[in-house]
Amino acid sequence: MRELYNVSASPHVRSGVTTRSIMRDVALALIPASAVGVYQFGFSAFLVLITSIASAMAAEFLWKRFVVKKKTPYECSALVTGLLLGMNLPASVPLWIPVVGSAFAIIVVKEMFGGLGQNFMNPALGARCFLLICFAGRMTAFGVEKASSHFMTGAASIDGLSSATPLAVIKNLEDTKQICSSVSLSDMFFGTTGGVIGETSTLAILLGAIYLLAKKIISLRIPVAYILTFAVFMLIFGGYGVSGDGFYYLACELCGGGLMLGAWFMATDYVTSPITKGGQIVFGILLGLLTGIIRVCGNSSEGVSYAIIFCNLLVPFIEKATMPRAFGVVKKKKGGASK
């Protein structure tokens, strides 16, 4: 033979995509929603974001320096965790709240279970739920600045009359006429409402999601399954049916709270979501159902954070049930052996 093929040891497929590049793209995709939050809530929101990021990076550095005692490449995961946690905090919280939350996310949720790739739930959401349990009053003090306020004024100019989030307002109303007159869908879409720093603007979140889809960092399976399942659930059990008013109510539920931020940026986390295609769809469906149940049947108007971390615990079972069989392997029958 005149032409010989030299086959080297596996792996044969190489890619320029690294953990650092993925985390960098996720951080870039979060910039629009972060920028809207800072513009809306003022300098206090900027301080919360910076403090959360710096605390997460410091916690990771100190853990690796004094506990692991081994040099590892910097992967930017702490930056993304800190940014996501800061975006899930109200702008009015004191700065020690993001410090405590970042330390919990990095050390307890991630590093104590083996570091990046070994955590059993999303670190940012795990920390947010921890803070909600420990400091419920501070974590639910939402606000939106007056239109005449300036960027540097910070939390001092937050309008206390607008402290309730749109979802909380909807939860306490009895019919869609009151919803239409009390809640502005356009304000919820563009981000001029109360809430945590990074969840108020659906438009900004979607812009970041489009960037991640274009870079092929995430796929549509989990977010679409999540949002569609939630939408169907709310149309059936939301109490307003399939009508004009019902669809307005549904649109408010979709744009309000952390649904969009959770569906596109946290439910799609590589470590805490299924790796199988079928498992990702099942995962999204479970997220939609659980979020709908919490919002409709529970006392809370939210539910995204608890839905995601609960479903994170189910990922090993989902993957086991949806793992495709190897070619030529026959499923084992009862009382018989597989071939």
pLDDT on residue 148: 37
Residues 23, 218 contacting (CB under 8 angstroms): no
**Mean pLDDT within 33-58:** 95
Residues 107, 63 contacting (CB under 8 angstroms): yes
Band (162; pLDDT cuts 50, 70, 90): very low
Residues in Cβ contact with 60 at an 8 Å cutoff, skipping those fewer than 6 apart: 77, 78, 106, 111
pLDDT on residue 46: 95
Instruction: Kindly report the CATH number assigned to the domain that includes residue 211.
Output: 1.10.3430
User: In terms of DSSP H, where are the helices of the chain?
Assistant: 19-29, 31-41, 43-63, 77-87, 96-103, 123-134, 136-139, 166-171, 176-182, 185-190, 202-214, 221-237, 244-255, 259-261, 277-297, 304-322
**Mean pLDDT within 18-24:** 89
Enclosing domain of residue 93:
20-322
Number of domain units in the chain: 1
Does the residue 2 lie in any domain?
no
pLDDT on residue 146: 42
Q: Which two tokens stand for residue 85?
A: 């946690």
- Residue whose token pair is 């009359």: 161
Does the residue 244 lie in any domain?
yes
pLDDT on residue 185: 85
pLDDT digits (tens, 9 = 90+) for 62-116: 998 888 877 776 778 999 999 999 999 999 899 999 999 999 999 999 999 888 8
Residues 313, 120 contacting (CB under 8 angstroms): yes
Dihedral sign, CA of 311, 317, 319, 324?
A: negative
**Mean pLDDT within 7-28:** 78
Residues 20, 131 contacting (CB under 8 angstroms): no
Q: Which two tokens stand for residue 236?
A: 């059936």
**CA dist., res. 122 & res. 309, Å (int):** 7
Does the residue 98 lie in any domain?
yes
**CA dist., res. 237 & res. 70, Å (int):** 53
Q: Which two tokens stand for residue 233?
A: 């659930």
Dihedral angle computed from the Cα positions of residues 33, 39, 44 and 48, in that order, rounded to the nearest 10 degrees: 20
Does the residue 4 lie in any domain?
no
Where is 159: in which H helix or E strand?
strand 158-159
Residues 62, 8 contacting (CB under 8 angstroms): no
pLDDT digits (tens, 9 = 90+) for 263-311: 999 999 999 999 999 999 999 999 999 999 998 888 877 889 999 999 9
Does the residue 219 lie in any domain?
yes
Does the residue 218 lie in any domain?
yes
Q: Which two tokens stand for residue 337?
A: 């052996």
Does the residue 12 lie in any domain?
no
Dihedral sign, CA of 331, 287, 115, 37?
A: positive
Dihedral sign, CA of 141, 144, 149, 152?
A: positive
Question: Helix (H, G, I), strand (E, B), or coil: what is residue 118?
Answer: coil
pLDDT on residue 298: 81
Does the residue 14 lie in any domain?
no
Residues 81, 110 contacting (CB under 8 angstroms): yes
pLDDT digits (tens, 9 = 90+) for 174-190: 565 666 667 788 888 99
Nearest to 60 by CA among 18, 22, 116: 116
Helices 31-41/77-87 angle, 10° precision: 40
Looking at the DSSP bridge assignments, the partners of residue 144 are 159
pTM metric for this prediction = 0.85
Q: What is the DSSP string of 28-45?
A: HHTHHHHHHHHHHH-HHH
